[in-house]
Structure 1
Amino acid sequence: MARLLLVRHGQASFGADDYDALSERGAEQARVLGGSFAQRGIRPDVLLCGSLRRHRETVAGLRDGLGGAPIPVLADPGWDEFDFQHVVEIHRPAYRDRAYLMAELARTDHPGRAFQEIFEAATARWCSSGDDAEYIESFPAFRARIVAVLDRARELLRQHRDIIAVSSGGPIAMAVALLTAGPQADPATLATTWTALNRVAVNTGVTKLVAGRQGLWMSTYNEHTHLEADPRLLTYR
C-alpha cells in the first residue's frame, strides 16, 4: 500500500522577530526525524511541503538526517497553516499591535500557556463564526482547501509508494478530522474533532495515512517516538 506521512514542522521561533524561522531546537528535531526515517528504511519518493519558511527548513533538516539523498521536493501551498495571527487579531483587535501582545504575555507566569489560551479562544470563534466574511480564510474555506490538497496527494500516491508531506498542525489535524469524522460531518462535530487533534500536535510528529481502494485512511496520528530519547526535543509550539 502507498503511504502518505504527514510531518508537522519543527519548532518555530515563538516570540522572535521572525516566527516562521525554525528555532535551533526545531532544526534539530527535523534532523533527528530524518535520521529515524533512515534507520527504519523509510526513504520517500517525493517530499511535499507548504510554502512557509518553517516547512522548507524542516524539509532541509529531514534531508540532512536522511543522508542528503536527492529526493524531489514539490511545494504546494495547500499544506500551509491557516493565518492564526489574523484569527487572533479578529478575536481581539488590540493584538494587531504585536508589542502589546508580547507585553501582555510577558506579564504572565507562563507566556506559552497564556498564548495557548488566547489561541484556543480565537480559533473557537473562527470555527463557529456566524460572519465568515470577517476572515481572510474562513473555517469552511480552510476545510475545503484541505479536502483539495488531500485529493492532490491521493493522485500522487498513484505514482509513488511513499510520500512525506511537511505541513503544520492545523492542516494535519483537519486532514485527520475529515478522515475520521467523515466529509459529511456536521460543522460542529468537525470543529470539535479538529480542535482536540490540533491541541496535542507535537513538533515533527508523524501522521501516517494509507491509500487503499476506498481512498485514504488514517493509520497513526502524531507519532513522535523519535523524540522520546531526549525530552528536551518534545515541544508543542
Structure 2
Amino acid sequence: MGAIYLIRHGQASFGEADYDRLSDLGAEQGAVVGAELLRRDIRFTEARSGSLARQRATAETVLDWLGERAPAKEDPRWNEYDHVDIVAHHGGGVPQSATDSRGYQEVLDGALAEWIGAGEDTPCAESWPAFRARVRGALEDLVAALGKGENALVFTSGGVIGTVAGTLLGEPETGLLKLNRVTVNCGITKVLAGRSGLTLLSFNEHSHFDGRGARLLTYR
C-alpha cells in the first residue's frame, strides 16, 4: 500500500509586499521537515508542488535534503485558495498590513465561511465548488500515477490539506474551516492509497518541531 505525504509549505512573509516569499523561519522549517523525511527513509517515486513560490521553495529545500536532483512537478491545482480575493469580496477587503496575523485570521475565517456559503454565486474568481473540484482532481491524478506500493510527496498549503482531510472524513467544509486553521507550517499529513481507495492515516504531524525545535512551530 502506497502513501501520499502532504507537506504544508514553510512560513510565508505575512504583512510584507511579497507575501508568497518564504520567511527566514520558513526556510528553516523546510530544512527540519527535510531532515525528518530523511530520517524516516521513505522512498518516493513522485514529487508534486503547487506553482506558488512558497510551495516551490519548500519543495526545493526538502528534496535537496533527500538527495533528489529532479525538481517537484508543478501543478497549480495544488495551489492555495486566493485569500486576498476572498477577503476582498467576503471580508471587507481588510489588508494584511492593517492587523496582526491573529486579527487577520479572524477576518479570513469569516470570509471563508461566507465564501463556502455563497457556492457558485460568489463574486470571487474561484468558487468553493471549483476549488474543491480542482483539489480533488489533482489528488486523483496523482493516485493514478502511482504504482503498487509507491509513495508521493506533495508540497501544498493548509487550505488544500484541510480540504483533502475533510473530504476523506466526509466533511470537506469542516476540513477547510476547522482543520485548515490548525495546520502548522511544514506539518506532514499522510494519506494511504490502496484497493479500497484513500484513507487519512495521520493529519498535521509536527513532532519534528518538539523540544529544541519548538521555536520553529508556527501556524501562519
Query: Deviation at 1:170?
Result: 0.6
Within-5 A mapping of 1:104-143 = 104-105=98-99, 111-129=100-118, 132-143=121-132
Alpha carbons of structure 1 residues 36 and 134: separation in structure 2 relative to 1, 3 Å: same
What is the aligned partner in structure 2 of residue 7 from structure 1?
A: 7
Within-5 A mapping of 1:158-173 = 158=147, 161-173=150-162
Range moving further from structure 2, 152-161 or 43-52:
152-161
Query: Deviation at 1:227?
Result: 1.2
Report Cα offsets for 1:155-181 as digits up to 9, x if no partner. 122367111000000111111111111
Identity across matched positions, percent: 41
Cα contact 1:45–1:72 (8 A) shared by 2: no
Cα contact 1:44–1:71 (8 A) shared by 2: no
What is the aligned partner in structure 2 of residue 204 from structure 1?
A: 186
What is the aligned partner in structure 1 of residue 144 from structure 2?
A: 155
- TM-score (normalised: structure 1): 0.87
Q: State how many pairs are aligned.
A: 219
Mapped to 2, the partners of 1:43 and 1:64 lie a distance apart of 14
Aligned residue identity for 1:63: L
| Greater radius of gyration (CA) | 1
Within-5 A mapping of 1:1-237 = 1-66=1-66, 68-95=67-94, 98=95, 102=97, 104-105=98-99, 111-129=100-118, 132-158=121-147, 161-181=150-170, 189-229=171-211, 230-237=213-220
Alpha carbons of structure 1 residues 131 and 2: separation in structure 2 relative to 1, 3 Å: closer
Which consecutive unaligned segments of at least 5 residues does structure 2 have?
A: none
Aligned residue identity for 1:195: L
Mapped to 1, the partners of 2:68 and 2:158 lie a distance apart of 26
Alpha carbons of structure 1 residues 69 and 94: separation in structure 2 relative to 1, 3 Å: closer
Alpha carbons of structure 1 residues 72 and 161: separation in structure 2 relative to 1, 3 Å: farther
Report Cα offsets for 1:131-155 as digits up to 9, x if no partner. 6241111111111111111110111
Report Cα offsets for 1:110-149 as digits up to 9, x if no partner. x111011011011111011166241111111111111111
Report Cα offsets for 1:2-33 as digits up to 9, x if no partner. 11000000000101111101001101111111
Query: Deviation at 1:215?
Result: 1.3
Cα contact 1:179–1:216 (8 A) shared by 2: yes
Query: Deviation at 1:93?
Result: 4.4
Cα contact 2:120–2:129 (8 A) shared by 1: no
What is the aligned partner in structure 2 of residue 185 from structure 1?
A: none
Cα contact 1:203–1:236 (8 A) shared by 2: yes
Mapped to 2, the partners of 1:160 and 1:55 lie a distance apart of 26
Cα contact 2:77–2:134 (8 A) shared by 1: yes
Range moving further from structure 2, 138-147 or 153-162:
153-162
Instruction: Please give the secondary structure, in 2, of the residue aligned with 1:129.
Output: helix
Instruction: Please give the secondary structure, in 1, of the residue aligned with 2:139.
Output: helix
Which consecutive unaligned segments of at least 5 residues does structure 1 have?
A: 106-110, 182-188
Aligned residue identity for 1:169: G
Cα contact 1:45–1:160 (8 A) shared by 2: no
Report Cα offsets for 1:164-216 as digits up to 9, x if no partner. 000000111111111111xxxxxxx5323431111101001100011110111
